[in-house]
Amino acid sequence: MKSKKTFLGALAIITAAMLWAFDGVFLLPEIRHLDVNMIVFIQHIIPFLLMTIVFIPFCKTIQKDAKSLNTIDWIIFLLIGFFGGYLGTYAITQAFFHVFAEGASITSVFLMQKLQPIFVILLSLVLLKERPSKAFWILSSLALLGVYLLTFGVSNPEFSFKDQSFVASLFAILAAFSWGSSTVFSKKVLKKVSFITSTYFRFAITSVIAGITTFATYQSGLFESVTAHQWKIFLIISLTTGGFAIWLYYWGLKEVKASKSAIYELAMPVSAIFFEFCLAPIVFDNYSPHNLTLWQWLGGIILLISIILVSLEKQKQLKDK
């Protein structure tokens, strides 16, 4: 029974990762000219309002879970809402938009965002005083080499905020840090409440944070600039890659180890490669994928292998304890 739940948990995480890849390739380009803070707000407030209706049968469970939470637990939820909800979504959206402006491949962003396991271990080093193995530092260095090749190839690097690819890389790394932090916090709080409660509170808190930042920077005509087609895109995101994917992810995370979930999440960049280079040219007329150079592909392979080995090394350390 346990092995079946573990398998289903892994399948849930893989499915969520594939949905997020689909979002980046097919949906985000449709809303690329809108304000990013507003995008983050709409992406969370719509699923939150839908959950408020759908989760009515689970109202007692959510209330019971809420009463069981202490001050520390609520702080953790605030951190999940900020890092995993607001900052992670804001950073990855900015990364995609800078890549779109450059006319480059979004696969590089998906690959760099998978630095999460490294940040998870570094966060454990800072918060839990855990000592990573020597292999971790070697593999982390290789992963950074992969990021460098993905960003610059073998050309002379230009560390300039005028360089769209460089800025996109910084935002992708920030997203990796944000979601890596959120994974650590989420795993802790999922031991205490149901995945339904976790999902609901995450969207509630993120909606508040994103709402504050949106209206604090509000400009006249902000929401009026959203077209009917873009509202449809937002609704599709809310029903698939937004609320549903997060719900799947939290359910899966409750059933599998965090070290293994990092490997399952690699379905995101793998799916992005398939969607961008194989499916999109079939779906869209006159679509031409933005090819990566040979050195960038090499960097992506180095990064993927490094992240897999880091996750396996972490899993081995946990078994040895």
DSSP calls for 210-236: HHHHHHHT--TTTTTT--HHHHHHHHH
> How far apart are the C-alpha atoms of 110 and 115, rounded to whole Å?
10
Dihedral angle of Cα 300, 304, 310, 316, to the nearest 10 degrees: -160
Residue extents of the structural domains in the chain? 32-225+284-320
pTM of the full predicted structure? Answer: 0.87
Q: Which of 317, 258, 257, 259 is nearest to 132 (CA)?
A: 317
The closest of 246, 234, 258, 259 to 313, measured between CA atoms, is 259
pLDDT for the residue numbered 259: 63
- Residue partners of 197: CB distance under 8 A and separation at least 6: 58, 61, 62, 65, 66
pLDDT along the chain (321 residues), means of 10: 78 91 90 94 94 90 92 92 94 92 82 82 70 81 86 70 83 91 77 86 95 89 91 92 84 76 83 87 75 84 86 65 53
Q: What is the pLDDT of residue 37?
A: 95
